[in-house]
Structure 1
Amino acid sequence: MNLQQEINQQLVRYMELIPGTSAFIDARTPGSHLKDNFCIIGAGVAESSRQHVHIRDTAGFNIGAAGQPPGIKNSLHSHRTAELFVVFKGQFRLYWGNDGEYDAVLSKGDVISIPTNLFRGFEVVGRDYGFMYSVLGGDDSGGGVIWHPEVIKNSQGHGLYLRADGSLADTQAGDEVPAEDELMPLLTEQEMQQFDTYTTEQMMPYVALSKDYRPVVNDFAGVDYQQFALTGSPLANYDFQVKSHDEVSIQAYRLENQAKLPMHTRKEKQVLINFSGDTEIEIKHQGETAKVLLTTGDVLNVPVGAELSLANVRGESFTYCILGSDQPEKPEVL
């Protein structure tokens, strides 16, 4: 397989995304039954073995997405590893706390890094279908989802059962109902008290609103473009807007008028999410060269150690760069 063929296999087009509709225990619970779950790079925390995964191999983090119509919820749950969201379409009301008592509405381009050990959920508000990309830290996704006890109770009778090992039994797909001692036990009141909570004011430092993006000092001198450092460690060489220890970080590039970032390489794993416009990516790796055009919503899994450049094709393009470290080093410009 040559490099061009490899890169083509590492590209996931937005228009070709395949959703899963029974990835989690709440997928048939009324009010959550119309949501789509996408595993773009890595299996994420999907509990169903039947979930379609576009690119299975990961290198330290997973990329997924959630899509749903207005009024449909993703139920209260928690993770042991990082969970970050980038809103792509529509408006999402994120709610959190043991009773979902706090909330905030995020719109297109808004980014949030949700603290671990915190129950969270989200629903689409307004009239439009909502879609947002997710970044999950770790190759094994931290052992899956920790569900609020009420979510497990409400899911009963809808054909989906969560086993104690985190896998999903789907009776509508032919699985048998697990025995009582095989089911995931409910969290006790004492265990629930161990989870954190944040007021809305306390949560806002973990949010980078699109309207408040602020450019940082460019990594590529002599190029007319804007670069944004959105989430990452406060100990990093970049002044990230959201300062959090996630083991991943998010940067972004705004290019226009055929601007081109020069060929460069990074030590960290990279995934590009082309948020808007058309961006041509040139990649050099192991003596070969390949090119691919990213259109709106496309995701590219960049080979580790590859050299790459980004070029605006027309209008304005905006591309997120997900890096496999919350303290990324500056790129080496070639």
Structure 2
Amino acid sequence: MPHTNPSTWTQEAMRERLVRYADLQACRTAFIDTRTPGSTEKENFTIVGPGVSESPDQHVHIREKHGFNIGGARQPFGCVNSQHSHDTAEVFVVHTGHWRLHFGPNKEDGSLDIGPGDVASVPIHMFRGFSKLDEGKGFLWMPLGQDDPGKVTWAPAVFKAAEDHGLKLAKGGKLIDTTGGNYELRDVELETPPTGEALEQLKTPSLDRLAQCLVRGMDMQPNPDSPLAAEGVEEAGVIVPQTTSDAFPAGPILGWWPHDFNLRRLTLQTGAYIPLHARKEVEVLFVQSGTVEICWRNADSEESLVMGAGDTLSMPVGVQHSFRNTASGPAVLFVVRGTEDPRMPVFASASVSELRGASA
């Protein structure tokens, strides 16, 4: 986990940990289905960590290990992300647009529709894909489990479609383009489609069980016992695999597979303020809507920056920081904390009970 002397966090240093939505660098050739009709317009993003891209052209915004990855996908109406399986957690935070998650190697096992503010965590070792349902482009912000999330397993039909368009996949997840005439396959071990036995291990759970892996934005309930709760400030648990040291009960998304992180939703009304505090785990912030001012304390000064919708910030461990909504509407943030059991924040100048009393 990142541990750095707080006195080093100048504006310039912190801005290196800030990824503006407008500055996201997309890869259009990230995966084996990049030429498959219906999938050619998708954009893949690797925001934190190496991600699961199969292309050397994939740009990584923040390479530092966090214990999890953050990726993203942007697609226009009708664009499809082909059926695949993951070995670690894959979470869909819907920033914009309406989407359909398809289940099964050939989309035969049902689907779930998700929209802005919804969160779905698809279990490991099952096939999923997704498509954009409405007009215009939409964006998914996607936490992935572990520092090395591995490589995806593609459904058999994906290999066939890719081969028809000149793409093959080497062992280890490297794309090979056979259309240029300058490739060499004699010394390359190619990835093969999963066998019948392997497919048996990637069966789709029932839709009733998968429904436990989805929480609608309208159903996210604030936790009044959150140490950040105050007038105009709400923190809701979204993915909380177990009861935590910072007073969150397990749920609503538990998962029967490891996540290696918590996902929370913070809502700040106009003028709301969360005082300076530090955390003992890495924290990544994503602004779902509105704007928020983030301040942090160096050894002899305070610095600040303003985040807007779609922006991502990696907050280093141990840095005293605060949140303030200075805009005329609510600010909504999703927060990933790098453990399944986050600890209590350490406030700069008051106990939790004193802070609550002051805000009552």
Relative to the length of structure 1, the TM-score reads 0.94
The equivalent of 1:320 in structure 2 is 334
Q: Is this contact kept in 2: 1:97–1:198, CA < 8 A?
A: no
The equivalent of 2:120 in structure 1 is 112
3-state SS of 2:142 partner: strand
Among 94, 103, 106, the residue aligned to 1:99: 106
Relative to the length of structure 2, the TM-score reads 0.88
**1:119 deviation in Å?**
0.8
How big is each residue's C-alpha offset from its partner over 1:251-308, in whole Å with a ceiling of 9 and x where there is no partner? Answer: 1111112111011111111100011111000123566532110011100011122121
The answer to which structure has the higher strand fraction is 1
3-state SS of 1:185 partner: coil
The equivalent of 2:345 in structure 1 is 331
| CA–CA distance in structure 2, aligned partners of residues 2 and 90 of structure 1 | 35
**1:178 deviation in Å?**
2.9
| CA–CA distance in structure 2, aligned partners of residues 221 and 77 of structure 1 | 39
Q: 1:181 to 1:17 in 2, by over 3 A?
A: closer
The equivalent of 2:212 in structure 1 is 205
**1:150 deviation in Å?**
1.2
Q: Is this contact kept in 1: 2:228–2:235, CA < 8 A?
A: no
The equivalent of 1:169 in structure 2 is 176
Q: Is this contact kept in 1: 2:32–2:159, CA < 8 A?
A: yes
| CA–CA distance in structure 1, aligned partners of residues 181 and 138 of structure 2 | 31
- Opposite residue 326 of structure 1, the aligned amino acid is E
- CA root-mean-square deviation: 1.9
**1:333 deviation in Å?**
2.0
**What stretches of structure 1 of length at least 5 have no aligned partner?**
none
> 1:128 and 2:136 equivalent?
yes
| CA–CA distance in structure 1, aligned partners of residues 212 and 184 of structure 2 | 44
Q: 1:287 to 1:99 in 2, by over 3 A?
A: farther
| CA–CA distance in structure 2, aligned partners of residues 159 and 125 of structure 1 | 28
> 1:241 and 2:215 equivalent?
no
| CA–CA distance in structure 2, aligned partners of residues 180 and 99 of structure 1 | 32
Identity of aligned residues (%): 35
Q: Is this contact kept in 2: 1:161–1:177, CA < 8 A?
A: no
**1:157 deviation in Å?**
3.3
**1:190 deviation in Å?**
1.1
**1:3 deviation in Å?**
2.1
3-state SS of 1:150 partner: helix
> 1:150 and 2:161 equivalent?
no
Q: Is this contact kept in 2: 1:272–1:299, CA < 8 A?
A: yes
How big is each residue's C-alpha offset from its partner over 1:96-130, in whole Å with a ceiling of 9 and x where there is no partner? Answer: 12332210100000001111111110001122322
- Opposite residue 160 of structure 1, the aligned amino acid is L
How many residues get paired?
333
The equivalent of 2:82 in structure 1 is 75
3-state SS of 2:198 partner: helix
| CA–CA distance in structure 2, aligned partners of residues 329 and 152 of structure 1 | 44
3-state SS of 1:27 partner: coil
**1:146 deviation in Å?**
0.9
The equivalent of 2:235 in structure 1 is 227
Q: Is this contact kept in 2: 1:163–1:178, CA < 8 A?
A: no
The equivalent of 1:291 in structure 2 is 304
Question: Aligned runs of 1:46-85 on 2, under 5 Å?
Answer: 46-85=53-92
Q: Is this contact kept in 1: 2:228–2:234, CA < 8 A?
A: no
**1:2 deviation in Å?**
5.2
| CA–CA distance in structure 2, aligned partners of residues 44 and 174 of structure 1 | 29
| CA–CA distance in structure 2, aligned partners of residues 93 and 282 of structure 1 | 37
**1:189 deviation in Å?**
0.6
Q: Is this contact kept in 2: 1:18–1:52, CA < 8 A?
A: yes
The equivalent of 1:3 in structure 2 is 10
Q: Is this contact kept in 1: 2:77–2:134, CA < 8 A?
A: yes
Q: Is this contact kept in 2: 1:269–1:303, CA < 8 A?
A: yes
Question: Aligned runs of 1:169-188 on 2, under 5 Å?
Answer: 169-171=176-178, 176=183, 178-179=185-186, 182-188=189-195
| CA–CA distance in structure 1, aligned partners of residues 46 and 313 of structure 2 | 14
3-state SS of 1:204 partner: helix
Q: Is this contact kept in 1: 2:84–2:105, CA < 8 A?
A: no
Instruction: Please identify, of 231-240 and 168-177, the stretch whose mean Cα deviation from structure 2 is larger.
Output: 168-177
* Structure with bigger gyration radius: 2
